[in-house]
């Protein structure tokens, strides 16, 4: 299977090549030239398999240039070895009214681990397969969770280095602590004076700066990305949509072929786009509901067909969704239109005017699959409290945004089984969660907050968070948003 650019300048790459490159030369994103199809027998066969085995089967549909042994090895290193604190890796918590797909049992307690444990394995295998000699320097812009998960995934992986940029005041205290204490001999963590979009735009500018990349190449370093624009980030996420369906089958909650819906707390549109790929492959999906916080640029887009980032940026209690440019939407536009020239034009309009309009016909195709809704901080807090009262379950702020949207959707008379995609452990956003549950947080430090939440929760504090208490700060650099390239250059040259 070949991978092509959403903007038409096709390099016809293998998946290994696309994963090494990250972004296409024309600034587009890599997509498979056609979407593989599976039948109901394939889906049913997943029921009796472990998550790792399910992953091998689904990934093999896309990574056709990897051998079975290579994929199996990558999957085992990513999800085996007790790296996840639940044997099921992505357990489906089936409740009376809906089910919760818990994607936060990995080393950093957020869903980014699902992809970022696997991507480094796929990348290092790709480097070997293609005989690439250069060292790969991973550049990441993060609104919090990606950074830590990428650092954990790449730390001390051969032939790689990683530098992470995060908005100085745009991540939670726990997220910051997780990153600035990162260990490993190939890692750098840098705060940027600006918001997430500044950091992301800075990283994109570095990738597209030709002379800079050539200079690095001559010095034996190639840049690559672990942001959700990398195909190797996206493809692992397709697995858990199948896995959740297989779990509902296994539990006897649905029959093969029954349609189900997912509600996904969305930022960069990577998670929910993986659901779209699953559906296009043949998974019976009724609707994918895109749930946003007050930065509801996607809600407006899915209602009107106009994407307009010219709006205020809000800091919310679900910071991993505080995003105004959802990069992965580009892939959806490509698959819906099959028209790279048109996609390139929209992306140019987005870059120049911050706005584009896909028109009624394309919008109708998108709306046939995607629903949308949003919840502000007050509704999010209410939902955490209600869910605790009703289901005795503690949802984090991001999950609560989705839960709220899912309930609103179901209350409109939709009957199909609903899965809420849960993207973070409540311990990670403990202050907002405790406040929502009516608890006082006054004067409590991070670790007292964890203990206080533990007293109300049936899950223990995740090991990675508990260990932060005694961890040493190793990274304290802060740069202007105009100085990111310099920071990359210095790190590329450093031992
Ligand atoms: C990244 C993230 C999201 C958003 O996922 P996208 O793939 O960017 O849409 C939601 N919740 C949490 C906790 C996250 O870390």
Query: Catalytic: 112?
Result: yes
The β-bridge relationship of strands 418-422 and 99-102 is parallel
Summarize the confidence of residues 176-200 as an average pLDDT. 94
What distance in Å separates the CA atoms of residue 428 and residue 424, rounded to the nearest whole number? 7
Which tens digit of pLDDT belongs to each residue from 392-409? 999 999 999 999 999 999
Q: What is the pLDDT of residue 278?
A: 98
Considering the domain boundaries, does residue 308 fall inside one? yes
Which residue from 241, 281, 243, 203 is spatially nearest to 23, judged by alpha carbons? 203
Which residue from 245, 222, 275 is spatially nearest to 111, judged by alpha carbons? 275
Ligand 1, residue 399: give the atom nearest the CA: 11
Considering the domain boundaries, does residue 335 fall inside one? yes
What distance in Å separates the CA atoms of residue 281 and residue 278, rounded to the nearest whole number? 5
What distance in Å separates the CA atoms of residue 361 and residue 237, rounded to the nearest whole number? 28
Q: Which helix (H) or strand (E) holds 141?
A: strand 135-141
Considering the domain boundaries, does residue 304 fall inside one? yes
- Give CA angle at 280 (364, 111), nearest 5°: 100
104 Cα to the center of ligand 1, angstroms: 11
Q: What is the pLDDT of residue 432?
A: 96
- Residue nearest atom 1 in ligand 1 by C-alpha distance: 320
Q: Does residue 428 sit in helix, strand or coil?
A: helix
Strands (E), 226-267: 260-265
Which residue from 303, 281, 291, 285 is spatially nearest to 369, judged by alpha carbons? 285
Considering the domain boundaries, does residue 104 fall inside one? yes
Q: Does residue 450 sit in helix, strand or coil?
A: helix
Residue among 175, 238, 271, 297 to mutate when testing ligand 1 (max atoms within 8 A of CB):
271
Provide the residue range defining the domain that includes 97: 92-109+232-462
Considering the domain boundaries, does residue 422 fall inside one? yes
Q: CB under 6 Å to ligand 1: residues? A: 110-112, 145, 228, 265-271, 320-321, 398, 423-424
Q: Global pTM? A: 0.93
Ligand 1, residue 145: give the atom nearest the CA: 15
Considering the domain boundaries, does residue 448 fall inside one? yes
State the total domains in the chain.
Answer: 1
Ligand 1, residue 104: give the atom nearest the CA: 13
Q: What is the mean pLDDT of the chain?
A: 95
Summarize the confidence of residues 476-485 as an average pLDDT. 96
At residue 291, does pLDDT exceed 80? yes
Tokens at 445, concatenated: 């430090």
404 Cα to the center of ligand 1, angstroms: 16
Q: Which of 2, 25, 87, 112 is catalytic?
A: 112
155 Cα to the center of ligand 1, angstroms: 22
CA distances from 351 to 33, 202, 212, 230, 325 (A): 25, 13, 21, 20, 10
At residue 144, does pLDDT exceed 80? no
Residue among 275, 319, 398, 421 to mutate when testing ligand 1 (max atoms within 8 A of CB):
398
What distance in Å separates the CA atoms of residue 208 and residue 197, rounded to the nearest whole number? 16
Q: Are 6 and 24 in contact (CB under 8 A)?
A: yes
Which residue from 112, 172, 196, 177 is spatially nearest to 432, judged by alpha carbons? 172
Q: What is the pLDDT of residue 157?
A: 87
Q: What is the CA radius of gyration of the chain?
A: 21
Summarize the confidence of residues 19-31 as an average pLDDT. 90
Q: In this predicted structure, which of 74-83, 166-175, 374-383 has the lowest mean pLDDT?
A: 166-175
Q: What is the pLDDT of residue 101?
A: 98
At residue 203, does pLDDT exceed 80? yes
Q: Does residue 136 sit in helix, strand or coil?
A: strand
Q: What is the pLDDT of residue 158?
A: 85
Which tens digit of pLDDT belongs to each residue from 211-236? 999 999 999 999 988 877 899 999 99
Total count of residues recorded for the chain: 495
Look up tokens 């189900």; give the residue: 260
220 Cα to the center of ligand 1, angstroms: 33
Q: What is the CATH number of the domain that holds 282?
A: 3.40.50.1100
Q: What is the pLDDT of residue 198?
A: 93
Considering the domain boundaries, does residue 225 fall inside one? no
Q: What is the pLDDT of residue 11?
A: 79
CA distances from 275 to 106, 330, 488 (A): 20, 15, 34
Residue among 263, 267, 428 to mutate when testing ligand 1 (max atoms within 8 A of CB):
267
Which tens digit of pLDDT belongs to each residue from 238-284? 999 999 999 999 999 999 999 999 999 999 999 999 999 999 999 99
Considering the domain boundaries, does residue 311 fall inside one? yes
What distance in Å separates the CA atoms of residue 421 and residue 403, rounded to the nearest whole number? 8
At residue 438, does pLDDT exceed 80? yes
Which tens digit of pLDDT belongs to each residue from 103-132? 999 999 999 999 999 999 999 999 999 999
Q: What is the pLDDT of residue 12?
A: 87
Tokens at 188, concatenated: 């750098």
The percent of residues above 90 in pLDDT, for the chain, comes to 87
Q: What is the pLDDT of residue 228?
A: 76
């Amino acid at each position: 299977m070949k991978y092509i650019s959403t903007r038409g300048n096709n390099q016809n790459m293998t998946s290994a090549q696309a994963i090494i490159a990250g972004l296409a030369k024309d600034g587009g994103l890599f997509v498979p030239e056609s979407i593989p199809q599976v039948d109901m027998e394939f889906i049913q066969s997943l029921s009796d398999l472990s998550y790792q085995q399910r992953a091998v089967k689904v990934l093999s549909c896309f990574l056709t240039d990897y051998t079975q042994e290579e994929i199996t090895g990558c999957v085992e290193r990513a999800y085996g070895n007790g790296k996840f604190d639940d044997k099921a890796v992505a357990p489906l918590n089936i409740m009376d009214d809906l089910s919760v797909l818990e994607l936060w049992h990995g080393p950093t307690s957020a869903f980014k681990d699902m992809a970022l444990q696997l991507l480094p394995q796929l990348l290092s295998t790709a480097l070997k397969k293609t005989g690439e000699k250069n060292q790969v320097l991973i550049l990441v812009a993060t609104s919090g969770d990606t950074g830590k998960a990428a650092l954990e995934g790449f730390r001390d992986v051969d032939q790689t280095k990683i530098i992470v940029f995060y908005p100085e005041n745009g991540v939670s205290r726990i997220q910051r602590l997780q990153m600035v204490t990162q260990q490993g001999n190939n890692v750098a963590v840098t705060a940027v004076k600006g918001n997430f979009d500044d950091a992301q735009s800075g990283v994109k500018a570095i990738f597209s700066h030709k002379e800079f990349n050539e200079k690095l190449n001559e010095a034996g370093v190639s840049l690559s990305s672990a942001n959700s624009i990398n195909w190797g980030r996206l493809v692992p996420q397709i697995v858990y949509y199948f896995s959740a369906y297989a779990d509902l089958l296994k539990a006897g909650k649905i029959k093969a072929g029954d349609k189900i819906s997912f509600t996904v707390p969305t930022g960069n549109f990577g998670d929910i786009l993986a659901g779209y790929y699953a559906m296009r492959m043949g998974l019976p999906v009724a609707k994918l509901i895109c749930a946003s916080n007050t930065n509801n640029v996607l809600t407006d887009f899915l209602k009107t067909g106009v994407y307009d980032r010219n709006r205020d940026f809000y800091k919310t209690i679900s910071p991993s969704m505080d995003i105004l440019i959802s990069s992965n939407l580009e892939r959806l536009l490509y698959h819906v239109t099959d028209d790279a020239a048109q996609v390139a034009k929209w992306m140019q309009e987005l870059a120049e005017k911050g706005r584009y309009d896909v028109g009624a016909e394309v919008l109708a195709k998108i709306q046939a699959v995607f629903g949308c809704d949003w919840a502000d901080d007050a509704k999010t807090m209410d939902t955490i409290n209600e869910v605790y009262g009703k289901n005795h379950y503690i949802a984090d702020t991001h999950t609560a945004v989705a839960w709220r949207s899912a309930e609103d959707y179901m209350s409109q008379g939709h009957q199909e089984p609903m899965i809420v995609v849960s993207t973070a452990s409540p311990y990670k956003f403990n202050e907002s969660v405790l406040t929502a549950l009516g608890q006082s947080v006054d004067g409590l430090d991070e670790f007292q907050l964890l203990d206080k939440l533990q007293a109300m929760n049936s899950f223990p504090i995740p090991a990675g968070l508990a260990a932060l208490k005694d961890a040493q700060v190793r990274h304290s650099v802060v740069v202007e948003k105009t100085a990111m390239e310099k920071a990359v250059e210095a790190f590329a040259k450093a031992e």
